[in-house]
Structure 1
Amino acid sequence: MTATVKSSPLGLTVLVLLHHRPLHPYGIQQLLKRWGKVHVVNVGQRAGLYRTIERLQAGGLIAVRQTERDQLYPERTVYEVTDEGRAVTRDWLEQMLAVPKAEFPVFPAALSNMLMLSPAEVLPILERRAARLADRRAELERQTADAEVGLPRITLIENEYLLAVLGAEERWLQGVMSDLRDGSLTWSAEMLAAFQEASEPTSDE
């Protein structure tokens, strides 16, 4: 049955949270926010969390523990991880840690098509990205510092990684923008057309 359940960052995180104690979806969402997991899993829409929970339940990885009824809140279904879910959690975690996955983020795709714009058009666009990256890094540093009091390093290890990645991208981006400013990185429609013509095979080949 578990073969039909595809691993995902949110699915793994839900399973890990349920290892600690049974929870209802709202409790899961609140813990994700409180523990800063929103930086590494997409919980922007509650519907996505409910769909993930449905998939995990259909695959036998979690089960209904009980239904809570309270006059102050709507009926809430509490879930717990199953024995099968515990085994799958470990397998997913080992795979995600050990095996680099071929992912296709939007920024490299945009870079590969950047030649559609001119260098003069690209520079201010990348400057806007650099400013947003700096803001994001500063916010993540602030949140990490606020959460660090008394917490073991392992509980914030994903923030450490994200900050390293952000820093690396910022340094690379600054280098590219510098090259655009001094003209060492440049292109034109004529240059690209000449390159394409030169790289096309001749009729004799």
Structure 2
Amino acid sequence: MADPTRSSPLALTVLSLLHYKPLHPYGMQRLLKQWGKDQVVNVGQRAGLYRTIDRLTAAGLIRVRETERDQAYPERTVYELTAEGRRTARDWLDRMLAEPKQEFPEFPAALSLLLMISPAEARAALERRADHLARTRTEPDVPPAGDLPRVSLLESEYLRVVRDAEERWLRSVIDDIDAGRLTWEPAQ
């Protein structure tokens, strides 16, 4: 079993949602999407959210506040933040903001293996990625949520800047492949 006191983006997000107000898991998931947090926290699978809630409950960071019973909905367990959960959330947030962590996203891993394919194949794939990033520039970053203060949208601002920088970098690599400044022989 995973360490119940181990920080994760989803665990911190659950604690922050419960800092806002007591919620049941469906309400958490709904707010995550409404506030656009699903762009930075993986909540695609409800099972992951439930595992995180179980882990935080076992660690004493959250607790059951009540169980709602309504004819229109199945029984819903409402969770609330404990005092220890509030302290832990602040500690995790401070650490995640201040200390860069070695993360292992797919794209750099794929870049490290480019020798498997030809420069032409790499160029085509990188072009598709750059085009995809360019298309996302025209999409809204978060669902409309009224007049929110900038601090509420910093993650979207960060993601936009990173996306734009990645697209510029991709275009420069594609130019280098086209000009013959970057070439290799694919591994057989």
- TM-score, normalised to structure 1, is 0.86
User: Which structure has the bigger radius of gyration?
Assistant: 1
1:7-65 alpha-carbon deviations (Å, 9 max, x no partner): 00011011011011110000000000000001100011111111110000011000000
Percent identity over the alignment?
Answer: 64
Gaps of 5+ in 1: 193-205
Question: Which residue is equivalent to 1:40?
Answer: 40
Number of residue pairs aligned between Structure 1 and Structure 2: 186
Question: Which residue is equivalent to 1:98?
Answer: 98
* Residues 4 and 146 (structure 1), Cα distance of their counterparts in 2 relative to 1, 3 Å cut: closer
Q: Which has the larger share of helix?
A: 1
CA distance in 2, matches of 1:60, 1:145: 33
Q: Secondary structure at 1:15's aligned position in 2?
A: helix
The alpha carbon displacement at 1:4 in A equals 3.8
Q: Secondary structure at 2:153's aligned position in 1?
A: helix
CA distance in 1, matches of 2:131, 2:74: 43
Question: Which residue is equivalent to 1:195?
Answer: none
- TM-score, normalised to structure 2, is 0.94
1:123 matches 2:123: yes
CA distance in 2, matches of 1:145, 1:106: 26
Q: CA RMSD in A?
A: 1.7
Gaps of 5+ in 2: none
* Residues 145 and 87 (structure 1), Cα distance of their counterparts in 2 relative to 1, 3 Å cut: closer
Q: Which has the higher contact order (CA 8 A, sep 6+)?
A: 2
Question: Which residue is equivalent to 1:89?
Answer: 89
CA distance in 2, matches of 1:39, 1:70: 31
Question: Which residue is equivalent to 1:21?
Answer: 21
Runs of 4+ with deviation above 4 angstroms: none
